[in-house]
Amino acid sequence: MAQTELKRELANRHVQLIAIGGTIGTGLFLGSGKAIQQAGPSIMITYLIVGIAVFFVMRALGELLLSNAGYQSFTDIAEDYLGPRMAFITGWTYWFCWIMTAMADVIAVGVYVQYWFNIPHWVPAVVCLIILLGLNLLTVKNFGELEFWFALIKVITILALIGIGIIFLIMGLKTDAGSVTVRNLWEHGGVFPNGVKGFLFSFQMVVFAYVGVELVGVSAAETANPEKNIPSAINKIPLRILFFYVGALFVLLCINPWTELSPAESPFVKTFSLVGIPIAAGIINFVVLTSAASACNSGMFSTSRILYNLSRKNQASVHFAKLNKNHVPGNSLFISTLVISAGALLSKLIPEQAFGIVTTISAICFIWVWGVVLVCHIKYKKTRPELHLKSKFKAPLTPAVNIVVLALFAAILIIMLIARETRPALLFTPLWFILLYVLYSVNSRKREQDNKIINAEPTIQ
């Protein structure tokens, strides 16, 4: 018998580490160098602002998911509150932005392996995809285990950085960059050394740093105890933001004056080198390698589940809804992996611009998805107040906070339009939404015609 339902095999420890892994990624380990150069020490404020906004998005998503046990992901929520067209656009947009993100990460895997082996970039990229595909095809528990260990590596690295930084601060030690002191936060041009403009332009990379936090919602259908595990994971997001992002950046900037950090290298590599760890570069290269593999793993998981849900809603090929004997959407995994592998071509065609374009498009699409969640929650509270009243996981300060966060997202898009580096990607992205709108209209007309043929009375001969 064909399998038709996803299996709930993600335990609490998987959900907790998926949540951590979703909030620590390539955007922090690699992208923070560029963001620091734009904003200086005020980058901590940027991470805090976006982190708070994302937390309110997650609280809204959590309440919506737990209001209906039948929801598989937020695409179901979008259909329920905004209609099938919006579900179609949101679902395919989420698939698209994770595809773009995973493309960047699988290319990064090939680059990182060059540190140890002088082989063509595409070889380790393909090997990574094959290994992740094989493990994901077995059971969803394998995805949970992979993310558990990937996230653990990230956590240990940041814990080591913060621990070493605190020791250096207390002892007042010096490095080749100078004294380790909190005065480095304001003695090199102030907290806003590049003015308000630099501070605002850092928001794009910071938004990208938070992509993936909503994986808790995507994994809801495969979580063993969503009523307990999802609220627990979401409620811990603020502490993780303060510790892993703001805390790590605080230590980085106390050890390194922001003027000593290069946007072309990881500030984590620079910091570990300064504190006297001889194999620092190798250690951090391994960490960013696992971080890229983790992001690619998350991309394969999320895109396959989105295709599965779209197929179940007749918004994608019926083949994507088929599950293998392990209750995993194998066909969806295969096609997503195949598209992700095309990232090597993008890297070859525009090697200098590829990462910036991909991350900008990804950030824009994630803003769309997060915005849809907030709009759905506003409508949920307005049209179904009885569900909100009996909810055990009410989103706080709604609907006012939803509107404030939506305004923040709109402001970030305007900043991306003004910034020269992000403007081309922002102007390109609307073409994707126009394409989806047209495709939905064409498919709707085709379904109507098919239904008319099926329902037509047979002709009497």
Taking only the tens place, the pLDDT of each residue in 201-223 is 999 888 888 887 776 655 554 55
CB 220 within 8 A of CB 72: yes
Burial class (CB in 10 A: 0-12, 13-18, 19+), 243: middle
Residue ranges for the chain with pLDDT beneath 70: 1-27, 30-31, 72-73, 139-144, 215-226, 264-265, 275-278, 280-281, 343-344, 346-348, 350-352, 447, 450-461
**Cα distance between residue 199 and residue 426, in whole Å:** 19
| pLDDT for the residue numbered 455 | 62
Q: How far are the Cα atoms of 27, 146, 211, 417 from residue 34, in angstroms, in the given order?
A: 10, 29, 17, 18
| pLDDT for the residue numbered 460 | 46
Of 68, 73, 78, nearest to 390 (Cα)? 68
| pLDDT for the residue numbered 236 | 78
| pLDDT for the residue numbered 461 | 43
CA 235 from centroid of its chain's CA atoms: 18
| pLDDT for the residue numbered 224 | 58
Amino acid at 162: I
Place of tokens 């895109």: 303
| pLDDT for the residue numbered 81 | 94
**Cα distance between residue 215 and residue 298, in whole Å:** 8
